[in-house]
Amino acid sequence: MTASSLPVAEAPRASAFPSLQTLAVTGFVLLTLAGFAGAGGGVFAPAWAVAAAATAVTLVWRNPAGYLAFVVSLWFYTPLLRRVLDLHHGFNPTNLALAAPVLASAVAVITLLRFLKELRGVLFAPALLVIAAVTYGFLVGALRNGLVAAFYAYLTWLSPAMVGLHVALHWRRYPDVRQAFLRTLAWGIGPAAAYGVFQFVTMPPWDAFWMVSTDLQSIGRPEPFSVRVFGSMTMPGTFAVVMEVGLLLLLSADVRGRLASLVLGFIGLLLSRIRTAWLGFALGLVLQLVTQPVRRLPRNWLTLTFVAVMALPVITIPRIREGITSRIVSIASGETDSSVRSRVMVARAAYTLVLDYAEGAGLGATGSAVTARRSGGIRNFENGLLEVFFLFGWPGGLLFFLGVAGIVVQGIRLADAQFDPFANAARSGALALLASLLISEIFTGAPGTLFWVLIGFGVSAHAHNLASGATAAYRAQQLRWR
């Protein structure tokens, strides 16, 4: 069964219970504001995580577009709430508030069960290989690392992929889901980036307290103008990836607030001082520009010029310019750069570990799940490619990347790019993230959610355009021009 054999169904009627969704979202927003104010004490974090999951359940069935917007917003702002809670109630290295976006993302399994038969189709079948590989990693991890650590890691790896499948399986509602995602980016990237600028200039007490408590010296000092900006996210790398994807998607979008978000997002990306994200943005931009029709180029170049001109007064401030310039110069330093040498050494050590664990170390051996292990673990692997083989072993790793390759191939349709600028931008963003796999992990957390969502949109766009006749109409037009 293929997308072309599936009729484009009419969008479901508006929910018969709109008040339930409205009540759930409004209540969750009020609860979040209470958390920022310091209410609830030590029980607030777990209660808030449960409330996030419950709100996601009310949205996922009746309002798939609203569910996606809710989940993406959680990934953007939960770390900021966590730091404020730590300031109010004391530092907690395993603050359960961070489980909120993971649990809300896992709710997308409801969509998977709802459209289970469609997974037999060519477009969606590769996702089953990814699910099988992650499940294998969970089984190995449960034996090696303990059930709790393995299960939490299982959720962190599988839930972002579930959100991507949620997007892909709702291809019949592609226009609505696409617009909701773009609105979330337009009204999420701007405030997150603006907070990043505020953080860089003033260093709020909750951010400073968190940096001191975690002894996180690699991102700078908890002082104004002395930190690599991480904004409302957990780390500068995560913040930079979100800015990178937001810029690529909003460049060709037609949504209110995009210009302000583009300017602020560009400044935020530079202040993160993450060279990988800078290069990824450049790669994604080139891919997007060369695969789109020539008639769209003037609009995009005008937008890029506007963003650069508006950002110039900020990035030329001496104390801001110095940090950005030094990182730009270091890109050309190659082997003389200490960061590059360190990454090469880490990759060599990781390769040795991969050889030692041919069957896989199992989920729970890396990442935030190590805090629930009985002993040991690697907090930051720093190489996404080798981490997959370390966790899932050679059989699971090959299965995982075979599934990823299948999904990517299904999502990359150059014909669609000629008449669907959003699909073109989504695929460019996904490939840009995939290109950074050797020096970062892109399958979990906010980066992983964005990666799978972009891949999901690629598949969704192709299925919708094919079934609605848009692809056939474009091909007929091309034949007439010939």
List the end-to-end C-alpha distance of the chain, in Å, as a whole number: 32
State how far the Cα of 11 lies from the Cα of 70, in Å rounded to an integer: 20
Nearest to 53 by CA among 181, 159, 182: 159
pLDDT of 369 reads 76
Q: How confident is the model at residue 233 (pLDDT cuts 50, 70, 90)?
A: very high
Backbone angles phi, psi at 229, to 5 degrees: -60, 130
Q: How confident is the model at residue 330 (pLDDT cuts 50, 70, 90)?
A: confident
pLDDT of 40 reads 84
pLDDT of 4 reads 46
- In the predicted model, is pLDDT for residue 173 greater than 50? yes
Residues 293-302 have a mean pLDDT of 84
Q: Out of 72-86, 197-211, 341-355, which region has the weakest mean confidence (pLDDT)?
A: 341-355
SS3 of residue 378 by DSSP: strand
**Tens digit of pLDDT for each residue in 91-126?**
988 899 999 999 999 999 999 999 988 887 777 888
Angle among Cα 168, 185, 281 to the nearest 5 degrees reads 90
State how far the Cα of 200 lies from the Cα of 63, in Å rounded to an integer: 37
Position 251, amino acid? L
Q: Out of 68-77, 267-276, 419-428, which region has the weakest mean confidence (pLDDT)?
A: 419-428
Backbone angles phi, psi at 334, to 5 degrees: 60, -125
**Tens digit of pLDDT for each residue in 4-51?**
445 544 444 544 445 688 899 999 999 999 999 998 888 999 999 999
pLDDT of 375 reads 62
pLDDT of 17 reads 45
pLDDT of 329 reads 79
Residues 162-191 have a mean pLDDT of 95
Per-range mean pLDDT, top range of 263-272, 342-351, 403-412: 263-272
**Tens digit of pLDDT for each residue in 433-466?**
998 887 788 999 999 999 999 999 989 988 888 8
- In the predicted model, is pLDDT for residue 334 greater than 60? no
State how far the Cα of 57 lies from the Cα of 64, in Å rounded to an integer: 10
Backbone angles phi, psi at 378, to 5 degrees: -115, 115
pLDDT of 443 reads 94
pLDDT of 357 reads 76
Q: How confident is the model at residue 476 (pLDDT cuts 50, 70, 90)?
A: low
Token readout for 191 is 């405030």
- In the predicted model, is pLDDT for residue 350 greater than 90? no
pLDDT of 337 reads 57
pTM above 0.75, yes or no: yes
Cα–Cα distances in angstroms (integers) from residue 254 to residues 180, 238, 284, in the given order? 12, 26, 19
Cα–Cα distances in angstroms (integers) from residue 210 to residues 92, 93, 221, 222, in the given order? 10, 10, 11, 9
